[in-house]
Amino acid sequence: MANNMEYDYLIVGAGFFGSVCARELTDSGKKCLVIDRRSHLGGNCYTSNKGGIHVHEFGCHIFHTSNEELWAYVNRFAEFNNFKYHGVARVDNEFYSLPFNMWTFQQVYGSRNPVEAREAIRNHGEGIEEPRNLEEQAIMMVGRPVYEKLIKWYTEKQWGRPATELPKEIIQRLPIRFTFDSNYFNDVYQGIPIGGYTSIFDKLLSGVEVKTSVDYKANKAFFDGVAKHTIYTGAIDEFFDYKYGELEYKTTRFFHKMMDTRDAQGAAVINYPSRDVEYTRIIEHKHFDWVETDFTILTQEYPERYVAGKTEPYYPVNDAQNNAKYLLYKELADGLHNMSFGGRLAEYKYYDMDDVIGSALNFVKTLK
């Protein structure tokens, strides 16, 4: 495949971090080789094309940012539609609006205006002022009836732990609005790339040598000899053979199914917060980037226990124990020469897409 040190950079991982690095370094005259152990580009942002419907194979991805420069950057590689995510939760045969807004408070408490909504929350807030865990935080923020109906079981299914044992910070990030506005994200720029995410990666990596279905770890001795510098975007604990133990992740099993109907649920995402429904949500992909077909593709998401090397790591569990373990790995990584670590797996950090693109752009500036 390559002679010794044929490349300036070996980039392990064709997700956003690796692909943005490859684009920028190639444009500045460096010779890059990108490898990914998966058979496709894009990491978890990968979308497949099934009869014209762009299927978000690893969880739905909605691009949102308030950073004008990043928005301009990503628009070099895709045209975005104006999709906005308005959440819906289904409990038995009742539907509720998410994130928590006046529609939700009207549906649960019958509130007709923000004064009534705030009063209902106070009345159902059980006098909590200094919450100690996620359950207490949620009751304080939206009252027990909203918590019981829309938060408790969803969260416990998602995290596999009682809400009383989860940190309150998880729920603090959720927007709560006292207006009839159900737009999930507050960001100025929002949308879905027309034609799916994969076409962004085709453009980011155009003119760059890329090998898919190639595992760096399995061929480490070889790959360590092909480039002057390696940028690694895989899992940091795996890189060091789990020397300090495994870092924990939340993971999900995606069950895709086709239905012979034009439109099955009338929304891109419906959440299922009930205890007796095993999955957490159903995605109907054609609503992200509408295409007229007489069939549709749905994905049910089932939370699963993560097993390193066997299931895909999705969301890092950034509690004190895991963060401390990550710092031990980071110290080892910092001691290596001609080797850099970046992206969500290598930095053990939850990144939205705009953040990871920004992080890669900042990182390459340190190399050029």
With contacts defined by CB under 6 A, name the span among 1-9, 58-66, 89-97, 175-183 that binds ligand FAD: 58-66
For ligand FAD, give the closer residue by CB, 109 or 348: 348
Q: Does 114 bind ligand FAD (CB under 6 A)?
A: no
With contacts defined by CB under 6 A, name the span among 9-17, 22-30, 106-114, 256-264 that binds ligand FAD: 9-17
Q: Does 37 bind ligand FAD (CB under 6 A)?
A: yes
For ligand FAD, give the closer residue by CB, 37 or 203: 37
Q: Does 353 bind ligand FAD (CB under 6 A)?
A: yes
Q: Does 59 bind ligand FAD (CB under 6 A)?
A: yes
Exactly one of 34, 53, 62, 120 binds ligand FAD (CB under 6 A); which one?
A: 62
Phi and psi at residue 184, in whole multiples of 5°? -65, -40
Residue matched to tokens 């829309």: 150
For ligand FAD, give the closer residue by CB, 163 or 353: 353
**N-term to C-term CA, the chain:** 26
Exactly one of 117, 227, 333, 356 binds ligand FAD (CB under 6 A); which one?
A: 356
Q: Does 282 bind ligand FAD (CB under 6 A)?
A: no
Whether 300 and 282 have beta carbons less than 8 Å apart is answered as yes
Separation of alpha carbons 65 and 63, rounded Å:
7
What is the number of alpha carbons within 13 Å of residue 193 lying toward its C-beta?
24
Positive/negative CA dihedral, 344, 346, 349, 355: negative
Name beta bridge partners: 49. 54
Smallest gap, in angstroms, from Cβ of residue 354 to ligand FAD? 6
For ligand FAD, give the closer residue by CB, 14 or 139: 14
Q: Does 18 bind ligand FAD (CB under 6 A)?
A: yes
At CA 360, angle to CA 358 and CA 366, rounded to 5? 110
Positive/negative CA dihedral, 346, 358, 72, 285: positive
Q: CA distances (Å), 293 to each of 27, 256, 258, 270, 287, in order?
A: 40, 17, 12, 20, 12
Separation of alpha carbons 112 and 165, rounded Å:
34
Q: Does 13 bind ligand FAD (CB under 6 A)?
A: yes
Q: Does 187 bind ligand FAD (CB under 6 A)?
A: no
Residues whose CB is less than 8 angstroms from the CB of residue 65 and which lie 6 or more positions away in sequence, other chains included: 71, 187, 188, 189, 352, 354
For ligand FAD, give the closer residue by CB, 108 or 356: 356
Q: Does 87 bind ligand FAD (CB under 6 A)?
A: no
Exactly one of 217, 243, 257, 262 binds ligand FAD (CB under 6 A); which one?
A: 217
Exactly one of 99, 193, 343, 358 binds ligand FAD (CB under 6 A); which one?
A: 343
Q: With left for phi above 0 and alpha for psi between -120 and 50, is residue 84 left, alpha or beta?
A: beta
Q: Does 345 bind ligand FAD (CB under 6 A)?
A: yes
Strands (E), the chain: 7-12, 32-36, 47-50, 53-56, 63-65, 87-91, 94-98, 189-191, 209-212, 227-232, 249-259, 269-271, 281-284, 296-304, 315-316, 339-341
For ligand FAD, give the closer residue by CB, 44 or 271: 44
Q: Which of residues 305-334 bind ligand FAD (CB under 6 A)?
A: 314-315
Q: How many residues bind ligand FAD (CB under 6 A)?
A: 33
Binding site for ligand FAD (CB under 6 A): 12-18, 35-38, 43-45, 58-59, 61-63, 215-217, 233-234, 314-315, 343-345, 351-353, 356
